[in-house]
Amino acid sequence: MVVALPHAIRDDLDAYKTALAQYDRAAKHLSDVDDGVLMFMKYPRREFTVNFPVRRDNGTMEMFTGYRVHHNTALGPTKGGLRFSLGVTLDEVRALAMWMTWKCALVNIPYGGAKGGVVVDPRTLSQRELENLTRRYATELVPLISPQMDIPAPDMGTNPQVMAWIMDTYSMTVGYSVPAIVTGKPIGIGGSHGRTQATGRGVIVIMEAALAKHNLTNPADIRIAIQGFGNVGSNAALYAEELGYKVVAVSDVEGGIYNPNGLDIKGVINHMHNTGTAVGYLDAEPVGNSALLELPCDVLIPAALEGQITEKNAEEIQAKFIIEGANGPTTPEADDILNERGVFIVPDILANAGGVIVSYFEWVQDLQAFFWDETEVFNRLVRIMGDAFERTYATATDKQVDMRTAAQITAIKRVADVITTRGFYP
């Protein structure tokens, strides 16, 4: 028996339209960049779609669709995560690859942007089925990936074990071990200390920089709400709690919890490990994912999916700071409303860059076969993210634009300068 291809179960969130709209806003401030270069940077360099079979445990064969998009390679090999989700679409992957290009350029690491994914709910697969799907998808990607060409990493629905299977599949194909083919691996096979915590920790590093610019330096006075309690949201919450901030609300795909006096984040994580969700945690009241965005708080961290903050709810958001842990959580229309209201938004390509920065560290360590301890990793992470924030803030001040536009101006200009220097082949 052959099962037909699965289809995405959510409406397309127009992530690519959002990415292009953001790009166009920034490009208006780059009058010194050739129009041809600006046009060139809007298009992905290459797009890959594959349909492949996976045998299920019951003997049936099921077909799956996967994607990989390389947006730009001017700065170096492409870098970007792999998603296993029923919500994966080609337009979403295009948008995420484009954002990765700007993210890498903004924090000054030598990568272009890429993204990939498979249309699948990994929770419906056994461990053997998940391994079979991963290895088959990795085999299809072999012509596109290498340590010098494209280096995948984990994202929604994937994890270090998935990266280990991809590394092993690629290594078996070429005939020797290649740790640098992916990042986000287990430490025992070439992973980096600090990689799991990096994105969430970086969100809080950037939050502190933003608060300091507004003379808000007492953590005990700051209330944080976090939408999305996966790897990014949970690690952001843990680090914020460690620093003395009050995390008042968190949510996952099942719903959220709220305690105006602050949550015990370690207790919430233990509850999640036991039940699979934050919902039902006793020392809190229930709150929906959408309602969480509108709770009274000082800092809102959207760390779930794209398109969560729109023109429909932007007026209701009470936070004075939004630090984007997710990619593309705010639409351009919502940006306009929030900026008009004076909300300070730190965009995704800056706020959640901690993951790709430490992925870069992992790649460098693998190529050198020389590894760093966690303290060195985090010290380097803080320095790079702090420098990127200061550059972006200076651009925003100089050009009198919001932080998102400033971040994109800074990143796009760097890529444009490199393209102009290299020239067009042939």
Could you give the residue numbers annotated as active site?
Answer: 115
Question: Alpha-carbon distance 90 to 110, whole Å?
Answer: 25
Phi, psi of 285 (to 5 degrees): -105, 150
Give how far the C-alpha of residue 296 lies from the chain's centroid of Cα atoms, to the nearest Å. Answer: 26
**Nearest Cα residue to 67 out of 169, 150, 9, 160:** 150
List C-alpha distances in Å: 149 to 75, 93, 142, 181: 11, 18, 11, 9
Burial of 424 (0-12, 13-18, 19+ CB in 10 A): exposed
Q: Write down the H helix ranges in 214-353.
A: 231-243, 265-275, 289-292, 332-340, 348-351
Question: Alpha-carbon distance 249 to 253, whole Å?
Answer: 14
C-alpha angle 322-325-326 in degrees, rounded to nearest 5:
110
Q: Count other Cβ atoms within 10 Å, centred on residue 135.
A: 18
Q: Which token pair is 349?
A: 């390509």
Q: Which amino acid is at 19?
A: A
Question: Alpha-carbon distance 348 to 416, whole Å?
Answer: 21
Question: Alpha-carbon distance 91 to 79, whole Å?
Answer: 18
Sequence-ordered strand ranges (E) for 176-315: 223-227, 246-252, 255-258, 285-287, 299-302
Tokens 């080609």: give the residue: 90
Radius of gyration of the chain (CA): 21
**Nearest Cα residue to 259 out of 176, 156, 268:** 268
Question: Alpha-carbon distance 122 to 131, whole Å?
Answer: 10
